[in-house]
Structure 1
Amino acid sequence: MPPSPRRLLLIDDDRTLCALIGDYLRPHGFEVSACHHGETGAGRATAETWDAVLLDVSLPGLGGYEVLKKIRATSPVPVVMLTARNDESDRIAALDHGADDFVPKIFSQRELRARLEAVLRRSRPSHAETAALKPAHAAPLISGDLRIDLAGHRVTHAGQPLELTAAEFAVLVSLIKSTGTVLTRAELVERARSREFELFDRSIDVHIFALRKKLGDAAENPRYIRTVRGAGYEWVGEKSGALC
């Protein structure tokens, strides 16, 4: 049987662009739905199940970053931002607000599809990867005030739920399991994702940035993740353990 279509929500007020994107992606295994208003898009993004969201920065009503904020309050769904410009401030803003990637509005359809496929690969572990992160005994992994339920794919920080994407979860587990050891980017990809590193978007750096923000950590004075310049990253929190 053919695989089920990946459900994509497109939030953009340019109806012509939405139609073009939908016509291109549907034959490539996507089921595309479109919203043209920020508030409506935020409602659908959080009320329904999606494989990815393609979100314009400039929207009528509720702006793209506000829509993303609402999505991130309840969902780790991969979000790719569409931006009218392609400068550093746009890229930083998109990542800072929790986007998984960004695409300038002057793009080729093939590049857009490639970006979406890459985000989906990073955000969804394979069955083998999931099994590797869930040992048979399914004992929680503990590091200081972090408790990681490997079987349930849940994380709490100081007793509060911590919403992580699948990729962020995999990176976090890999770092904690190697407490006190510096892991290179390539080693993190191999351990956390078990697939070839996608160099074009430096995805590990993006996930480390997101983890630090969610943990309230700082690169300059790290409590959890230390950057070793020219080498990689090291987990410096309390040594991990497991509860019986």
Structure 2
Amino acid sequence: MATVFLVEDDESLSNAVAYNLRRAGYDVVALADGEAALRALAAQQPDLIVLDIMLPTIDGFEVCRQVRRTSSVPILVLTARDDEVDRVVGLELGADDYLTKPFSMRELLARVKALLRRRALLIEELQRDREIPPERLAIGPVTIDLAARRVWRSGQEVALKPKEYDLLVYLARHQGRVCTSDGLLRAVWGYDGYGDTRTLAVHIHGLREKLEDDPRHPRLIETVRGIGYRLSPRATS
């Protein structure tokens, strides 16, 4: 049974979300503020965190920042309806996905299921990697060590967020081929159907900032307008 930390200070919303998560078969630890969340995380590692941004004591941004220092546990952030800044900052701090309030419980459960499924696949991949010699992918100045989940650019190690790394590996394994936005969301985030392409765009932007010579004129990760992205064969030249 997967354990979900639910960090939400609105008692009625927390109760409703916890009820639906438990009904779906998850073990839920409900926490009402950021400080309590960090204490709980120091004692127990959950399989997923549902994290509200506006929290007392310590806000969700700081909780997310501190979690990402030591853990790659999936984080689903909850944000206000029209606050795009919250969504972008949350993703830049290492959140894996976001959901705007108000939301349907069906949508919440779908996002939770997708994130947990992707986590399970990554764990399986890591276990397989431990059984075989380290495998590396090289794309121009970029080298990816699949066993160690580490990336270098021109010999300098680059720190990537978990989803940035997963996205880069998927693009590298399909180098030269156009990867549709929906296909990337399905492969990297685990969505069964349509996902929010803004989540993908934020992570593409993060990769370009870290790996491109000029992020404003990318040569490594190309945009194929109206379709998706491609890791360019020119990167090897």
Q: What range is the shorter-chain TM-score in?
A: 0.7 to 0.9
Gaps of 5+ in 1: none
Q: CA deviation at 1:134?
A: 8.9
Alignment of 1:34-183 (within 5 A): 34-45=30-41, 48-125=44-121, 137-157=133-153, 158-160=155-157, 162-165=159-162, 167-183=163-179
Identical positions, percent: 37
Gaps of 5+ in 2: none
Structure showing the higher helix proportion among its residues: 2
- 8 Å contact kept, 1:6–1:30: yes
TM-score by length of 2: 0.76
- 8 Å contact kept, 2:139–2:172: yes
- 8 Å contact kept, 2:114–2:191: no
Q: CA deviation at 1:132?
A: 9.3
**Aligned counterpart, 1:25:** 21
In 2: Cα distance, 1:99 partner to 1:127 partner: 18
TM-score by length of 1: 0.74
Match of 1:103, SS state, is: strand
- 8 Å contact kept, 2:185–2:195: no
RMSD: 3.7
Match of 1:73, SS state, is: helix
Question: Do residues 198 (structure 1) and 198 (structure 2) align?
Answer: no
In 2: Cα distance, 1:108 partner to 1:163 partner: 32
Question: Do residues 6 (structure 1) and 5 (structure 2) align?
Answer: no
Deviations 1:91-149 (A, max 9, x none): 33433333222223323322221221123234442788779989955332233554322
Q: Number of residue pairs matched?
A: 234
In 2: Cα distance, 1:232 partner to 1:58 partner: 33
